[in-house]
Structure 1
Amino acid sequence: LTPTYHVFEFYTVHHDATLLPISLTAGTYEFEGQSVPAVSASASRDSAGRIHITLANLDPNRARTVETELRGARVTGVTGRVLTAAAMNAHNTFERPAAVQPAEFRGARLSGNTLTIDLPAKSVVVLEIR
């Protein structure tokens, strides 16, 4: 499977789910005179009541820490998966089919209703909040 496949798979949790507003601040990433938000995020609630948040750290060189408030939700835990690699151009081949694959993500923590997430550089993370 390709890294692109895994990224799309991370976002399927939002299919047929209810969009939730999400607000976070992570600064900007600048490249060749262009500036964009360093982290992109989507949040939704599925029919079983689970909240999913997907985040992409666009900065290939710098980890980012973001916080968001989980308002109106009773939360008991968070789990997640991350997709990243040591090199920006890492890819899977027939010889190395698992060079880039999702791994358990342990960079999210809850304190009350505040969710803090430590995103590695050049990563995509999907979280499930229960």
Structure 2
Amino acid sequence: MLHNHKDTTLTCPCGSNKPFSFCCEAAIEGHKPAATAEALMRSRYTAFVLGAVDYLISSTAVEQRDPDDAALMAEQIKATTWTGLKILNTEAGQPDDQEGVVEFIAHFETSEQKADLHERSYFRKEDNHWVYVEGDVEIINKNK
């Protein structure tokens, strides 16, 4: 399912300091759903790093999906290098919760800029699976 050939025996891109195979791989490959909203957010970040577009779409709330999502995401993934993730705060989003919020900063680079994506993401559980609903996003340009 992964769409590129990065070495996934290395540390997971999500910043957990665990091997990918013991961290986000099970969620991205569809073997085991993310247990918490933060775990889903980390796995989605990793999916952006690895180019797992199908996972990004399937882990988004149905009402937020658009037919053009796959093409747009694939284009963004090719143009963006994600360089780090820092979790700032979580609210609820535990295994027994139905909703959760994760605030994070994701560092990235494109050919035009080096920047941080600061987002407060909203998640909910559907059929016992966490999904991304929406986020309040701010891009902080680091080119100065």
TM-score by length of 1: 0.33
Structure with the bigger percentage of helix: 2
Structure with greater Cα Rg:
1
Q: Which structure carries more strand by proportion?
A: 1
Give the number of the structure with larger relative contact order, counting CA–CA contacts within 8 Å between residues 6 or more apart.
1
